Structures are given as structure tokens and as C-alpha cells.
Amino acid sequence: MSTQPLLILTPDDLLAARWQALSSSPIRALDIEGLETWRKAGHRLVVIDLGSAPAGSPPLWAHRAWQENAPGLTILATSSRPDDDEGLAVLNAGASGYCHSHAPVDTLLQALEVVASGELWVGRALLSRLLRLVDSRLPRAGLADWARPLTEREREVAHHAAVGESNIAIADALGITERTVKAHLKAVFEKLQVADRLQLALRVHGVR
């Protein structure tokens, strides 16, 4: 359970109840204008149901209240029909995470904890897309800039992971087991002091 005060923005009673059960200090809002009040009160953590936008209206991340207050908030956006393009749009608009509104409770709690800690939460497909975008738009740094602490095999695994390949795909490409891939990735994260694949991708491309 999250110990941070949590604002839940949704008109859906059942959805609100699910999220409220995951916080020791939940508050519910039905209007996106509540973001300003929440931010000015010194709170940060917000869950926004993207389906709460009225039919025919612009998406919530295009709303003035979102754009003006997002820089001072930690937003986890949820959707009952997740879509990679929508996910990219909300992340670009300042959200820290994007997930399915009706994901298992354990997953929702983990998502809350991850964004509250300052990290990014996205699904595997969207993460792979983000990593491919990073790889296509940024030049790779020289090995000396990031890979000195790593073994040759760890460097290979890191390169594959940084462009969005799954553990199974990396295992097949390198002729090793998926379990070995996981062990190498754990070592890579520890040695490079990164928390996830997105941070690894940025490090591989020289962005610290």
C-alpha cells in the first residue's frame, strides 16, 4: 500500500474503489481541475483515468489543467484500452507511467510504487517501442564511455536489451539461456547503476 497521499481522477466508482484500496490517503476527484488544488496543497501522486474525458472532447493530456500542473506532479495514467500511441502521448505530456486500468491489484500497486520512487512505468510493448526510438534517434556512445565495468558477454546483452529485445530474443541471439540473460542484466544494472532498460538505453547512448 502506498503511504503517499493519492489523488484518483475518475468518474468510475468501481475503478475509484480499486485505486483507493491501494493508498493509505486516497482522495477522489471527478474533474481534472482538481490537479491544481492537489499540487498547491503540496501533494504529488496522481492516478488519472484517461477514460474520464467526456465523449468528443480532447484527450485529458491536452487539457490546460494537465499541461500547467503536470511538471509539479507524478502522474500515472490508466486506460481500459491501452494503446502504444496513447502511451507515448501521455508520457510526452509529462506522465510518469501508463498502465491498464483493470490490471491485477499487485500490478497496480507496483506501478504506484515505481512512479512514486521517480522511475517510469510502462508495459513491455511500449517500453520496446521507446527503446527503439532512443536507438534510432541517438548515436551510440563509444564503449569506453559506459562499458568499462562490464564483461564482453554483459556488453552484448546490454546492447540487445538497449534496443528493446526481449530476454528470450537475446537468449536466442547469443545462444544462452533466458536465465543467464536475466543474470547478466542484473549484473549490468548493478555495475552501471541503472534501474531499468530505459535508463540502460540512455546510458548506452551516452545520456547519463
pTM over 0.75: no
The Cα angle at residue 172 between residues 169 and 175, in degrees rounded to 5: 145
Query: Is the per-residue pLDDT at 177 higher than 80?
Result: yes
86-112 burial: b if 16+ Cβ within 10 Å, else e: bbbbbbebbbbbbbebebeeeebbebb
Q: What is the pLDDT of residue 31?
A: 87
Burial label, 31 (beta-carbon count in 10 A; 0-12, 13-18, 19+): exposed
Give me the percent of the chain exceeding a pLDDT of 70. 92
pLDDT computed for residue 165 by the predictor:
85
Helix or strand run (H / E) with residue 9: strand 2-9
Q: So what's the pLDDT on residue 72?
A: 93
Residue 22 C-alpha cell reads as 491501494
pLDDT digits (tens, 9 = 90+) for 137-164: 666 655 567 888 999 999 999 988 888 8
Mean pLDDT score across all residues of the chain: 87
Check: CB of residue 82 under 8 Å from CB of residue 99.
yes
Residues 69-83: tens digit of each pLDDT: 999 999 999 998 888
